[in-house]
Each structure stands twice: as structure tokens, then as C-alpha cells.
Structure 1
């Protein structure tokens, strides 16, 4: 199953969908190679003194921490409440006084109001970076997505079938022209090849499928139909920084990424993500300890994943990954992330699975993933003998 959006003829179609605000609607806009590059550039524009504290959530992807360290700043972590919002009362006076910026995320593509966070940042004199990596489209309570922060950052590649791209935006602050370096002809050509190869692999280019399949077979040689699981990634600070690929933060996004982002319909992205999320909720909701969080309504957003709580998380997660199902979790916390009282973030990093619901998964993909997950929720001795076979 595709782990992200796939380019094919279907990506050009329109579907009935609600009109939602987007990060792209903000008056100040700059495109980057990735969401992490956008975070880096937002922090760079703040011109914080070296060693300044940046408040980060305990529940994070390593790419949220790497830009802070790259700029010689100091991550200080805050806990989350059950809504995935900062536990503001848990941030000490000293931490607030030392902080120059705070990064707050809209998790899972289910945006929340940041009114209380915005007020707190204003009172403390702290710049707010609104992380919309999971929420390219949507209404965040009283404001459209991206309009709570001094800066907003987002990931184009999580929502569009592009090889890379991120967004730095602002509703209130100017974004001066940056000296991002253009990428060369080889990188631009490789982007076309990669997009077509992924589309061919997933059968999305009818009419060209056979011809392209021959070309890519000759290019790559024989490939096993079953892809072996990737080796476990390291969790040291050095390994995490290497995995974040921070060497490309000063490059312009690829031309193909900008072309597809500009011309592909948004309505299909929104409609199918809402449909897939709703199907997960229909099949899994009664088994999900995160149901109250997940079921607060998706009419005003385009979900990124369906969050699902699992007690026996290690066994279930690794079994799902071995079967090639579209699921992941944020279990690679940056070294030094503290265990804070009443923090939901650290518990989420272990127990919370993120089931992808992007527009290029169909009903069968969602149903198969849900059924496999349900089968694994049984105690091991009660599971079917041939659990790896599709139901």
C-alpha cells in the first residue's frame, strides 16, 4: 500500500468536497524543500541569541528538534494535555522567561484552537510557530489554520504527490526574499523519474503503465514483490540528526513539486481523506481509547492520520509494519526528552499508532488495515494461525 500520496490520472480529478482554508491562503508565503526547512527558516527570521531556549512538545518527530539544534538554540520540552495542546501550567517561570519561541503542532490533521496558547505567548513575549505539518487544510477553532502563529510551517509532500516541498507562511510578519539555491538539472530530472516510477509501481498511470513498467524494470533490475523491512534506525542524537537530512534546508523546492502543487485539485485530497478517516472510525472507533479525540469532527479539516491507542503497542506496531501496512508512530524521541508529570505526549509516543488516511488509499486498503489491526488486538494465543494473509 502506498505510504504517501501517489501521482496518477486520478490525482487530476475533482470530487465534491467542502471548501477549507489552507496554509497557502496566508498573505506571506515562502516554499521550502520540507517542513523542517520551514521551521529552520522561521527560527532564523526570529534572530534569537545563541543558546536561547525554544519550547518544543514532548511528543515530536525528530525533524522538529533538528532545526533548533542546527541554529545553536536549546530545546526545552513541554508536556501535552489530553487534547494534544501544551500544558501551559507545567511550564516553569524560568523556562518561559528564557524562551524566545514555542513550536505548537496540530496533531494528526485534527486542528485545535490555539487561543489560550496565543494569549500565553503574548503575555510571555514568546514567538509562536504554528506547526501545520499534519494540517495543510482546515479551521483551527476560531481561526483558519496557520493564523494563530507568528509563523506557520507545513509539509506539501504529506498532502500532494510531490517528491518534496514545505511551506513557511505568516499572517502578520513579512517574509523577506531568501537566497535559496536552485537545484540542478539532474535533481529536477530525477524528480520526474521518481514520481512516475512510484505511480507506475502502484498502477496509477493506465495507458502508459506497461511501457513505463518495462523502462523502470530495465532501470532497476528485478525487484522482489515483498519489500524487506528497513533496518531499525538509531536513536542517538547523531543518528537522529543524520536521518533528518538537514543538508538541504537552503535549497529551493523542485520545480515539479511546485507544478503539481499549483495545478492538482484540492477537493479530491480533502474529500478522500475525510472518507478514509470516517471509514477507520466506523471500523475501529469502539476499540479506540483515543475515540473522543479522533471523533470531534472532520468536516472542517483534511485529516493526515487516524490516531489509535494500543496497550500492547510494540507487538502490534511491529507486526503491522512487517505486513507493509500504512502505519507509523513517533517513538524516536530526541535524547533528553523529559518524563513530565501528567504528560500525555510521552505516553502517545509509545502507545499511539498513526494510521495513514491519505487520498491514494482506497476502501479496501483501509478495511484491510483495520481488520489486521483488530486481529492483532486479540491476545497472541487467540490470533488466527495465518494472520499475515489478507482477510
Structure 2
């Protein structure tokens, strides 16, 4: 397997001044909080779920249960984060990548060719609901059943907990994995779900110690107190942004290193010793206590604000401009035309932007394009109005700057 990797070290990007994931504990009133605490302790453990410290380790257990081994193959989406592959590499399995359409749906028409080309038996297929948008995987489920392949449904980008599952998700896979910490202000959290509870018989995780729990409580409180300030303060905000952009546009651009190397090991984000560690009890409690309706409403409002803000901007387009009413978005995916220099300028301005620029090489043109050009913009519920104002201003001013550095 070849890995295309972007090394940002030469760029000297500053640390983003706005957290990309939620950090503030929330409930509407003190009475509501007490009621939620009481309700949380009334809820019983579901035999359909197992708790892991991260979704990547829940995914590893799903791979193991599906029969992945050195003599088998995983089919994975061509557009991916490396943590989606780590556990398969840890198990010694081969990985083949199936193409995606422009809306990140599996390309069923080209999947068969990838399957037929596999030199080892295909035991599992991973299908992802990207950015919170539920995909209709019914045809894929049928195809997997016909070929005796275990379908693993990746719900790491959707709101999926033991108490709430995003509509249209968790209904296709024999195993389902999720990452609650991406939606809730908790230290960790990964879930493995099976519609048939007997499929999880014998799956046990190691509880965390008292010291870890106390540190989890401390971090939750500290993160909840995180300042709502914006980078650079409020004074002369547009002027300061324009001054920094002007300086960036006239200075030599130091780009990162792009490499393609043979890759057959797990990434630095994977720890074999953590594969069986359960998530913190305090993290599980936070998931129970957080009001989902308020969380969803805030994320939807921020997503729609992004959609309106980029509607008339040059050099970009929203991957999903319309947000369905029942969708709780994870991030706002924005496709840009010129990662050089726009991505670099955003990073130098301290804008909290992500992209999956470390990715296995495949024949999928969509994945190759999105690797450098598809930006992940935060839309979580902890963002303040001032932070959204600042991010919209930075993005708008940056993308209105032409790639040559002059205003169009």
C-alpha cells in the first residue's frame, strides 16, 4: 500500500485559536441538569453496545469479529482517515479501496471490479456516513450479503449513541462503530454496536482506573471553561485580517512536503495497548446528560450559516449545500479550487481547518481531488457567535483573494 502524506512542519502553522471539537458542558437549567442526572442513572447497560476509548478501537474489534486476518482483505472507501485503516493493518489484513462518487457515496458500479481484483478473500467492507449525512446503503448491503462479506457501518461522523441514533444510520451493518467524543464535550469515547446482541458475546473491555476518571473530570471542567475569545481579539477585526492576508500574499509561500511512500504499519494515532480500553465513565455520563435537541439545533444553525456564507464566494463550493432537517452535521465540508495558497493562508491565520491529507493512494479520482481540496470546517455547538463571525470573516476574505494574491 502506498501512502500520500503532507508534512506541514516546514510551514510553521500556528495552533488554531478556536477548538475544532465541542468543549463546553451544557444543559438548559439547573433543574434540567438534575433531571438528566437522575435519568442517566436509571438507564441500564445495553447488550447491543460495547464502549471503547476511541472509535478506531471499536472498529478494530468489528474487523476482528468480521474475520479479518493476514489471509484476508478489507474493502475501504478511497477517501478516508488513516485511523480507519490502522486496526486492519494491525490485524495483518490487506486493504483494497473502492471508488466513491462526488457526494462520497460508494460507487457500486465500480465496486465489483475492485472485489474481483482482490488476491485474498474479502471478509469485510467499511462504509461511511461522511460529515453527518446518512447514506442509503441498502444496495451495498445486498451486494455484501450476496458475496458473503460483513458490512461494517461507520457512524463516526453521525450522532450515534446508546440513547439516540441519527435517522437512517445503524440499520445496514452487521457491526456499527461510532465516535461520540466528536459530538459531545468529553475526553474520549468510541462505540461498537451490533443489531444482534449475540454477535458481541465475549467482547469485553478493560475499565479505566480511578486516576484516569479523575483526570477526565478535571479535563471536562477545564475544557468547559475554555475562553470564548477569538484569535487576535475584537479590535479592528476586518482590518487586522486584511493586513495579515496582505503580508501573506506578498511573502514567499513555504509549502509542506508531499511524499508517497510504501506503507504497511499503523499510524502514530494507533496504540495496540489501548485496543481493549473502555471509555471513561465520565465521558459516558456526559453523553447521557447533554441535551441532544439543543446540540442538533446549534450544529444545524452553524452549518446553515456556513452554507449561506460560502454561497457567493469564489474558488469554492459547499459539498452539501442543503442540510436535511433530520441531519446533525459533524463538520461543514468545503471544496476549494486552490489549496495553494488558500489552505496555507487559512492555517497561517489560525483558522481551525482540517483536511485528510494523509491518505492511501488509489485509482479513485474523487479521493485524489478531495485529499487536498476538501476542507472540514467546525460547526459544533460550543462555538460562540463571535467565533463564527471571525471564522466567516477570515474564510470570506481569504477566498476572495485570488491565488496570485490580488483581489479579483
Q: TM-score, normalised by structure 1?
A: 0.79
The separation in 2 between residues aligned to 1:325 and 1:246, in whole angstroms, is 33
Aligned to 1:82: 102
Aligned to 1:165: 189
Q: Which runs of 5+ in 2 are unaligned?
A: 1-17, 33-43, 230-255
Q: Which runs of 5+ in 1 are unaligned?
A: 15-23, 205-230, 385-391
Question: Once the 2 structures are TM-superposed, how far is the Cα of residue 308 of structure 1 from its aligned partner?
Answer: 0.7
Match of 1:107 among 124, 127, 130: 130
The separation in 2 between residues aligned to 1:10 and 1:264, in whole angstroms, is 6
Q: How does 1:204-223 map to 2 (within 5 A)?
A: none
Question: Once the 2 structures are TM-superposed, how far is the Cα of residue 148 of structure 1 from its aligned partner?
Answer: 1.2
Which of 128-137 and 159-168 deviates more? 128-137
The separation in 2 between residues aligned to 1:194 and 1:186, in whole angstroms, is 12
8 Å Cα contact 2:134-2:168 kept in structure 1: no
Q: Does 1:152 align with 2:152?
A: no
8 Å Cα contact 1:55-1:77 kept in structure 2: yes
The separation in 1 between residues aligned to 2:122 and 2:98, in whole angstroms, is 12
Q: How does 1:173-188 map to 2 (within 5 A)?
A: 174=198, 175-188=200-213
Residues 314 and 177 of structure 1: CA distance in aligned 2, closer, same or farther (over 3 Å): farther
Q: Does 1:344 align with 2:361?
A: no
The separation in 2 between residues aligned to 1:235 and 1:195, in whole angstroms, is 39
Aligned to 2:154: 131
Match of 1:271 among 297, 315, 319: 297
Match of 1:281 among 293, 307, 311: 307
Aligned to 2:323: 297
The separation in 1 between residues aligned to 2:217 and 2:375, in whole angstroms, is 32
Residues 243 and 97 of structure 1: CA distance in aligned 2, closer, same or farther (over 3 Å): closer
Question: Per-residue displacement from partner, 1:317-351 (whole Å, max 9, x unpaired)?
Answer: 232223332220011113xx2233xx312211111
Tell me the secondary structure at the aligned position of residue 355 of structure 1: strand
Tell me the secondary structure at the aligned position of residue 147 of structure 1: coil
- Count of residues in correspondence between the two structures: 342
CA RMSD of aligned residues (A): 3.0
The separation in 1 between residues aligned to 2:169 and 2:102, in whole angstroms, is 20
Residues 116 and 238 of structure 1: CA distance in aligned 2, closer, same or farther (over 3 Å): closer
The separation in 1 between residues aligned to 2:100 and 2:45, in whole angstroms, is 28
The separation in 2 between residues aligned to 1:244 and 1:282, in whole angstroms, is 38
Question: Once the 2 structures are TM-superposed, how far is the Cα of residue 256 of structure 1 from its aligned partner?
Answer: 0.9
Aligned to 1:120: 143
The separation in 1 between residues aligned to 2:265 and 2:103, in whole angstroms, is 31
Q: Does 1:307 align with 2:333?
A: yes
Question: Once the 2 structures are TM-superposed, how far is the Cα of residue 381 of structure 1 from its aligned partner?
Answer: 2.5
Question: Per-residue displacement from partner, 1:7-32 (whole Å, max 9, x unpaired)?
Answer: 33557788xxxxxxxxx999721111
Q: Does 1:375 align with 2:397?
A: yes
Q: How does 1:240-279 map to 2 (within 5 A)?
A: 241-279=267-305
Question: Once the 2 structures are TM-superposed, how far is the Cα of residue 300 of structure 1 from its aligned partner?
Answer: 1.3
8 Å Cα contact 1:235-1:332 kept in structure 2: no
Which of 70-79 and 92-101 deviates more? 92-101
Residues 257 and 381 of structure 1: CA distance in aligned 2, closer, same or farther (over 3 Å): same
Q: TM-score, normalised by structure 2?
A: 0.76
Which of 103-112 and 3-12 deviates more? 3-12
8 Å Cα contact 2:208-2:277 kept in structure 1: yes
Question: Per-residue displacement from partner, 1:270-309 (whole Å, max 9, x unpaired)?
Answer: 1101110000011113447544x41343311100111111
Tell me the secondary structure at the aligned position of residue 242 of structure 1: coil
Match of 1:65 among 68, 85, 88: 85
Q: Does 1:4 align with 2:21?
A: yes
Question: Once the 2 structures are TM-superposed, how far is the Cα of residue 61 of structure 1 from its aligned partner?
Answer: 0.6
Question: Once the 2 structures are TM-superposed, how far is the Cα of residue 95 of structure 1 from its aligned partner?
Answer: 3.0
Residues 315 and 149 of structure 1: CA distance in aligned 2, closer, same or farther (over 3 Å): same
The separation in 1 between residues aligned to 2:46 and 2:351, in whole angstroms, is 35
Tell me the secondary structure at the aligned position of residue 405 of structure 2: helix
Question: Once the 2 structures are TM-superposed, how far is the Cα of residue 247 of structure 1 from its aligned partner?
Answer: 3.2
